[in-house]
Every structure is written in C-alpha cells, then in structure tokens.
Chain A
C-alpha cells in the first residue's frame, strides 16, 4: 500500500529530540547534522539480484496536480500490492525536485525511486548517484529510441520511462471551418492560415516562449525540423528557424505576450478563443476537454517543406534508482518493473494523457484514445534534448531561450540574438 500522498512524508528516522536536555544540545545536534552535509551516499551500485529486496521504499515525483497525482497514486498502489513493497510517496513541483534530490545526495537521504524529467537524467547520472538499470534485467525492447537516448550515458542506461510526450499543433475546428481552411502541414501554410485567422482581438497562432526551459522546448520543433543543431546556433538553419518564428509576431498573427506565457497560459488562451492554433502537449487535453469550450483537432507540427517528417523534442518522466543500498535498490527495481509493464504503463499513460514509451503499448493506447494519435506517431522519431550534450544542455537551452525572447520582442534581430547566444555558450 502507498502511505502518504502529498507533502513531506519522510522516512528518514527522526532524530530523537529530548526537550529536557535543553535548547543548547538541540542546537549542537543541528550543527552536527548540518556539518555532515558532504558525506557521500553509502549505497552500492553493484549487481543486486542476489539481495533480498527491502520491504519499504521512498519515492519522489513531480505529479502535483490533482488529475495526474491521483492517476499516479493508483499505479503506485497497484504496484505496491503486486510487489509487496510499501511505498512512501512525496510529490514536489518539478522546479523543486532536482534540488531536493541533489540535497538528498549530499546528505545520504536520497529517495529509493525517483521520477525526474528526462532532460535531467544524464545530469544526475553524471554525479554518480544513480545505479544503472542494466543490473536489474529490464526489458526495453520496443522502447522508443529517443527516450533510451535520454537515459543513456557512456553506454549505460540509468532510467526507465513509464510515459513520454511531445508537442503537436492544436487547432480550433470551428474557426477553421468558418474560414474555409484545412489544418496546415507546411510552414507556408501555417503562416497563411495564422494570418487568415487573425482578426480583432484574436490571434491566429500561439506558442509558449517564457524565460525558461519551456521556451526552448517549444521552439525546438521548428529548429530541428529545419535542420538546426544545438551546437551550431549561428548556422543558417538555426537562424532561419528563429526568423520564421519571429515572423508571426512581425505580421501580427501571434501576440508578443507569448514571451510571458507558460504552456498552461497558452492553453488558456486557446480555450478562451484568443488563439486559433497553438503548439502544445497532450497533458493539456483534459483541461481543454473539461472547459467544454473548444472543438479542437490535433495535427503534427508543420514542417518547412511538404512531405517532411517533423523532428520534435522528446518529453516525459523517467524512473531512476538512486544508489541507496542493494536491498532498497532491488525493491525499487521491482516496483519500477511493475510500473513499466504493459498493464500499468497503459493505465498511467491513458489516465494522464501521455504516450506509452513502448511502441506496441502505444499502438494499443491509440485504439482507446485516438485523439493522441498525432503525438504517438511523431514521438516515435522524437529527439532527446540531451543527446550528445548531457550536462551542457541547460547552458545551451538558457542561451537559446534568451535569444528567442530577444528576437520575439524585437530587441535584437534573430541573427544577432543567436550570435550572442553562441558567444555566451562559448
């Protein structure tokens, strides 16, 4: 059974605090605990097959909104029952998750099983705090290549994903019908449709371009589909992609406010009818459905030329097993295996409108939820953001989102903005 859902369910044994001993001693013990901050983890990452699994593990994830938290809890509960391992769960917002895991790494109190954003896996693996999952006999056959790339560092695999996602183009069916248009498939069509659908206070197109990873993530489908390379930000395909995105603001078919919109804000604008098209992910589907305001369709993101396949970025969470000792690692692996077996993978992906990372399971999922089809087809060739970059990715991403903001607000030309970005990356 899963004990505890939200907040600070902690399992580390609490230090006995005898108030009678006085505040001074309490103070001293806190000093001692603060000073022990650099003790490296004592876990072993060796083969764990021979060790009896622990009966209880701690788990951490970033599914904090009600829908996904409940769906995730159901999966955890089932797998807890199936494996006989008690799971102590803790949910934190994504922003706080990595600092929390790193903090745990320094004090030897890491969770036994952690679900982190795939973009952070290589970074975490590089610290040495993760135990490679190759040791536990996971069957990763049929897994989408992008997600395996994202979890692999120096030939070793450090995580198994229960669900992945990517981006696609959402369009307002009624607005398209009124204008006599069909969903765009190329950049030229997207430009024309966006312009045609812009009227009054309504914009034709919307993306999310805030000063965060979201900004880079949303730009990558244009960047990569045009042949852009994250290590060559000033190359012609990169500049052309940014010029293309900027053109929507220039011709008035996209609001300049996108530099302040997170992806959830973009979905709100789409629901409110302020944008006829938007780039967004499958996690917003339930929100749009619940609003009941928009009849929408989803198509793959338009490509520079007709007949191309869009190159989209891969998103999704990954279960990793920190090195917390052989028994807890073995138990965590059991639970993770249960969660990534077909039945639970399907339950979680459907309950949370994400895509199952095993192609055969995804095909099954699409039958039940055809609305996810555009995501399921493009995610097969989705690219992991960290491939070949690893821990360098955050620096490049920050430089890129700054350049995007600079170009969209007209502070710099796309070319100058990307030159500055390349310079700051070095």
Chain B
C-alpha cells in the first residue's frame, strides 16, 4: 500500500514536473511571438501615442528633445478647417468603397459559381486589379480621368446628349467620387475571391433539395445562400473596413488630397502634416485619431454581430 502510495506520489510529482516543463516550454515558444508583437506593434504604437503629445520637429530626430505639449497637437488638429472635411471624406470613402466592392464582388462570385467555358480564365483576369502595384493603378486611373484627354470622358461623350465631360479630379465632389470608383475597382477581386470561396463551401445538395421543393432563384439566395454565407460576409466586411479606412496610395496617386484638400482623408492628412510640413506632433495626433476611430467602429460592428446571434 505504502509503496503504491509512494509511487503514486512520485508519479504525481513527476507528472507535475513534466507539466511545469511543458508549461515553460510553451511559454518559451510564445516568447518570440510576444517579443515580436511588442517590438513591431506595441513599441511603434506607443511611440506614436507619445509623439501625439509632443512638439516633435525635425530637430527632435537629432537631439532627441521633444517637449511635452499636452493636448496642443489635438487642439491644432481639431480646430483646423481641414478636420471635419477630412473625417467626412474618410467616412464617405470607406462606406462608399465597401458597399460597392462588396455588392459587385458578391454578384461576380455568384456568377462564377456556375461553370461555363473560360470561366476560370475570366476569373483569373478579374484578379488583375489586385495584382497591380497600387501606384501603377492610380497613375493609370489619373490618366483615364483626365478632363480633356481621358478615356473616361471620351466614352461618356459617346452617349447621345452628353457633350461636356465630367470634371473628374478637378472638382471637389467629383474628385471624391473618382477616387472611390478607382478604389472600388481595386477592391472587387478581394471581395470576389473570398466570397467565391465561401460559396464553394456551401453544399450543392441543399440547392438541389430546395429546387425540388420549388424555391426560386431569389428565394434560394435570400433564405439559403445569404445566411450560409454570413460567416464569410462578416470577415470580408471587417477586413474591408480595416483596409479601406487606411487607404493611402490610391488617393495620393490620384489627387494628392487635392484639389484644395477636397479629397483629404485622415491618412493623407496625417502624411501631409508629417512629411510635407514636418509637423510630426499633429501628424501623429491625426493617425492616433484614425486608430481610435477604426477601433471603435470595428468594436461596434463586432458587437452588433454578437447581438444578431453567433454567425457560426
């Protein structure tokens, strides 16, 4: 008895020792990841938050001296006449881009679930916008949008009754529309690919069953495809939000935030502060605001999902 007990104790001791070792090994494996996150996400984020409270000038780079100025940078930013327009442009750009990217991407994904000759090739070609470097696509779009010599206006003028082109890029509201259209074009493949993948995972059997029961195309989409696609939809929209709110290259390449700040979003404005005006404090403040807004919107979105039931 006692021997058994002792072995039992010993075994338990050994087991707990092995557990502890496994635990430590586990931690050891986790450390690199943690260090990575702290070094490459935590530290820059912390530094950016810090800079938002400092009077950080080119001089600060060299001397390391950047006096604390409290909320002065935020005051500068919020009282700037560019602030509310930049928020508005960011909101319109994000919502406009995502809505159309998603709708068109979903339409194409549904279209390509049917197999037809050359469908694979066509689908591959639709990926093109995604594969082009953004700076290249924006240069081409800028060309196409040219008021006098651009192909977009040339096509528009072919429509009977249209004799004047649209002042794409040279009038404020049109410029905003123009960058949204270009961004939609860039974002469609991303939406299409993910949604197409989602559609593939829905079993064909249930559609067959529904068809036999007399469900029409719209009913099959509304009551079967849409709910079953929901998990993918959520991921696509969430990623779309994160990607779109921080779009920079497209806007910079097409309008540079112009004409006269009329396509300035929080990202381009932050860039302008930091790298054209060398006011790194307000630049950091703008990007901090962007981070806060993106986080809040993301959390609200996630919460609204949880309320409407677990997607899985």
A409 is an interface residue with CB less than 8 A from chain B: yes
- Quick check: A255 and B147 within 8 Å, CB to CB? yes
Chain A residues lying within 8 Å of B254, measured Cβ to Cβ, are: 260
Option from B59, B170, B276 in Cβ contact (under 8 Å) with A394: B276
A259 is an interface residue with CB less than 8 A from chain B: yes
Q: Which residue of B lies closest to A257 (CB)?
A: B147
Q: Mark B264-304 against chain A: 1 for CB-CB distance below 8 A, else 0.
A: 00000000100111110000000000000000000000000
Give CA–CA (A304, B196) in the complex, Å: 64
Query: A259-B170, A405-B260 given as contacts; is B61 within 8 A of A127 (CB)?
Result: yes
A237 is an interface residue with CB less than 8 A from chain B: no
Give CA–CA (A210, B142) in the complex, Å: 12
Chain B residues lying within 8 Å of A405, measured Cβ to Cβ, are: 258-260
Query: A23-B32, A99-B275, A409-B172 given as contacts; is B62 within 8 A of A211 (CB)?
Result: no
Q: Mark B17-44 against chain A: 1 for CB-CB distance below 8 A, else 0.
A: 0000000000010011001101110010
Segment 1-28 of A: residues with Cβ below 8 Å from B: 22-24, 26-28
- Quick check: B59 and A259 within 8 Å, CB to CB? no
Segment 36-83 of A: residues with Cβ below 8 Å from B: 38-41
Q: Mark A337-377 against chain B: 1 for CB-CB distance below 8 A, else 0.
A: 00000000000000000000000000000000000000000
- Quick check: B256 and A210 within 8 Å, CB to CB? yes
- Quick check: B260 and A102 within 8 Å, CB to CB? no
Chain A residues lying within 8 Å of B28, measured Cβ to Cβ, are: 24
A339 to chain B, nearest CB (A): 25
A422 is an interface residue with CB less than 8 A from chain B: no
Interface centre among B28, B57, B167, B170 (most CB of A within 10 A): B170
Chain B residues lying within 8 Å of A272, measured Cβ to Cβ, are: 149
Chain B residues lying within 8 Å of A259, measured Cβ to Cβ, are: 169-170, 258-259
A-B interface contact total, Cβ < 8 Å: 132
- Quick check: A38 and B147 within 8 Å, CB to CB? no
B137 is an interface residue with CB less than 8 A from chain A: no
- Quick check: B142 and A260 within 8 Å, CB to CB? yes
- Quick check: A260 and B170 within 8 Å, CB to CB? yes
Q: Mark A388-403 against chain B: 1 for CB-CB distance below 8 A, else 0.
A: 0001001100100011
Give CA–CA (A201, B39) in the complex, Å: 56
B138 to chain A, nearest CB (A): 11
- Quick check: A398 and B58 within 8 Å, CB to CB? no
Segment 67-116 of A: residues with Cβ below 8 Å from B: 95, 98-99, 102-103, 105-106
Q: Which residue of A lies closest to B150 (CB)?
A: A257
Give CA–CA (A127, B167) in the complex, Å: 43
- Quick check: B58 and A257 within 8 Å, CB to CB? no
- Quick check: A398 and B277 within 8 Å, CB to CB? yes
Query: A210-B258, A212-B256, A274-B148 given as contacts; is B58 within 8 A of A127 (CB)?
Result: yes
B64 is an interface residue with CB less than 8 A from chain A: yes
B276 to chain A, nearest CB (A): 6
Chain B residues lying within 8 Å of A256, measured Cβ to Cβ, are: 147, 167, 170
A-B pairs, top 7 by smallest CB distance, nearest first, are A211-B258, A27-B35, A38-B64, A406-B260, A211-B256, A23-B32, A405-B260
Spell out B's residues near A (CB within 8 Å). 28, 31-32, 35-36, 38-40, 43, 57-59, 61-64, 80-81, 142, 146-149, 167, 169-172, 254-262, 272, 275-279
